[in-house]
Amino acid sequence: MALATFGAGCFWGVEYFFRQVNGVTNATCGYMGGNNEVTTYEEVKKGKTGHAEVVQVEFDPTIVSYDELLEVFWKNHNPTTLNMQGGDIGTQYRSTIFFHDREQKAAAEASKLAFARSGRWGLRHIVTEIVPLQQFHVAEEYHQNYIDKNNLPSCHLEY
């Protein structure tokens, strides 16, 4: 198994989309990129810790490639809005890819460039960060698989 970590707004929707991908064996909501050694949802949602809401995706690379996961990432959020997705505003909702190794970094940078050149977003600049993996804080249990647990439609914006 391999890991990939993405931030694309509210982690409930991000987790939901990745769970639908064949070859994804787990998707875990959490926090990354902040200043605190330990953090909670209550702290992160205030936007003062520097953490992003992220989903750490465990996947079988013999079934789904990292490039295919990147495609899911780009297609299911707006990478042109700085620190927001829909009505969720703050650095905790930023568009970010946390790479786990040099290969993921190169793939993420190449896919960002290809997606920007695709014209999907017109002349708008893609603001997605591509940064090294940092400490992953698993979100509280009630956030895991939240949409299915609560029988909700996806809260995430589809573009």
Of the candidates 2, 10, 27, 97, the residue annotated as catalytic is: 10
Task: Give the residue-averaged pLDDT of 107-128.
Answer: 90
pLDDT at 155: 60
Residue 158 has pLDDT above 60, yes or no: no
Site of tokens 């940078």: 109
36-50, 58-72, 121-135, 145-159, range with greatest mean pLDDT: 58-72
Measuring CA to CA, how many Å separate 137 from each of 35, 41, 113? 12, 10, 29
Classify the phi-psi angles of 116: left when phi > 0, otherwise alpha if psi is within -120 to 50, otherwise beta.
alpha
Where exactly are the structural domains of the chain?
2-149
Residues 119-153: tens digit of each pLDDT = 887 778 999 999 999 999 999 888 898 778 877 76
Rounded mean pLDDT, 59-87: 95
Q: Which CATH number fits domain 2-149: 3.40.50.1220, 2.60.40.1530, 3.30.1060.10, 3.20.20.70?
A: 3.30.1060.10
Active-site residue, 155 included? no
